[in-house]
Structure 1
Amino acid sequence: MPTEPSHQRPPEPPYDLAHLLSHAERRLVRRLAAVLAAEGCAVEQWRVLSAVADGAGHPMTEIAEYALLPAPSLTKLVDRMVADNLVYRRPDPGDRRRVLLHLAARGRILHQRAAHRVAEDQAALRAALPADPDDLARALAGLADALDSPAAPAASRRPAH
């Protein structure tokens, strides 16, 4: 008697936090890029604009960390943004060796328009989450803090005898 083909789902792969986070981050950045494209803004530009939108002026090292860019890449991007009159550089009044980045008027307009679109899209995403989005944000912030801590990775820890 012939057996019927099995329609069972393959077993679930082991829970892999790094894979899940990477997958979600890639999709989220792709979605953000599509939202920002409507304003002619790239994700990296958005991050720089957001970093300096408070009007306080920020050093390049701080912006590189916020924008998730290595210093040479950030310098090239900021050079283009300066040429496009989106941002400008000024010496730090407290330390003349440092340069602070500020939002230009044209950059402020772009940031405001793009921020509106991003906020609308993020509100739609927040509404689609099964759990409280603030809980997710706190959990991700806690994970980032834990990953920055000086504790040794679990694989390198030896049990105490």
Structure 2
Amino acid sequence: MSHATESSTPATVRFVDGYLPALLALASQLISGEFHEVVRQHGFSVSEWRVMASLADGDPISIGDLAQVTVTKQPTVTRLLDRMESKGQVERLPHPSDRRITLVRITPKGSRTIERLIKLAREHESRVLEPFGLARAEELKKTLRQIIDLHARRQGGHELADEHAPSDSVLG
């Protein structure tokens, strides 16, 4: 077979190169991995960053919901919260109407601690999205939120943070 024949053969496209879940997972891993270096340089574990970023708006959240949003098993989140609570970064609160639920919120000290990383995360996100322009970046986020909403509803309330959950998170 001649070289000309070999080079004129169309390239084979692998299934995973066009499969949405594989593309999402790889994009998440690459982008998150970049920022995880920054997280570690600032003295946080990736898990601590995910918890702090999830609590950064100040609103209390249940431990179960926190496990879902951080894509972490609930027992792991509970152990992590024990350490973070001892550092004064988070606090546990009783749920106002359901004694079975424990809420968690970031403390003022925790907010001050994470403030710089939130700024760096926003800067990282801007650099990642800049090549696509603001309109395309916002459309991408809107589409991803719609995909998440649609498939979270299809889960029928099943917990997302189970043994099959990816090790990476949307929080980077």
TM-score, normalisation: structure 2: 0.75
Provide the C-alpha distance between the structure 1 equivalents of 2:119 and 2:20, rounded to a whole number of angstroms.
31
- Structure 1 or 2: more helix by fraction: 2
Where in structure 2 are the equivalents of 1:102-141 lying within 5 Å? 102-129=105-132, 132-141=136-145
- The 3-state SS of whatever aligns with 1:54 is coil
Farther off after superposition, 6-15 or 118-127: 6-15
**In structure 2, how many angstroms separate the alpha carbons of the residues matched to 1:50 and 1:125?**
18
* Greater alpha carbon shift after TM alignment, 26-35 vs 125-134: 125-134
Which residue identity does 2:142 align to in structure 1?
A: R
Distance 1:149 1:58 in 2: 19
Preserved contact between residue 87 and residue 107 of structure 1 (Cα < 8 Å) = yes
> After the TM superposition, which of the residue ranges 63-72 and 85-94 deviates more from structure 2?
85-94
The aligned residue for residue 98 of structure 1 is 101
What TM-score, normalized to structure 1?
0.79
* Counterparts of 1:42 and 1:79, CA distance in 2: 15
In structure 1, what is the Cα distance between the partners aligned to 2:84 and 2:153?
Answer: 34
Equivalent residues of 1:58, 1:100 under 8 A apart: yes
- 4+ residue stretches of structure 1 with deviation over 4 A? none
Structure having greater relative contact order (Cα 8 Å, sep ≥ 6)? 2
Aligned equivalent of 1:79: 82
- 136 and 88 in structure 1: CA distance in 2 versus 1, 3 angstrom threshold: same
Residue 136 of structure 1 and its aligned partner are, at CA, apart by 0.6
Please state how far the C-alpha of 1:143 moved relative to its aligned partner.
1.8
Query: Sequence identity of aligned pairs in percent?
Result: 23
1:37 to 2:36 alignment: no
CA distance in 2, matches of 1:138, 1:106: 32
Q: Count residues with an aligned counterpart.
A: 150
Alignment RMSD, CA only? 2.4
CA distance in 2, matches of 1:28, 1:78: 26
Q: Deviations over 1:64-115 (max 9, x none)?
A: 1111111111111111111222112122344444322121233111221110
Question: Which of 22, 38, 55 is 1:19 aligned to?
Answer: 22
Cα distance in 2 for residues equivalent to 1:105 and 1:53: 10
CA distance in 2, matches of 1:106, 1:10: 55
Partners in 2 of 1:148 and 1:107 — Cα distance?
A: 29
Would the alpha carbon gap of residues 3 and 93 (structure 1) be closer, same or farther in structure 2, given more than 3 Å must change? closer
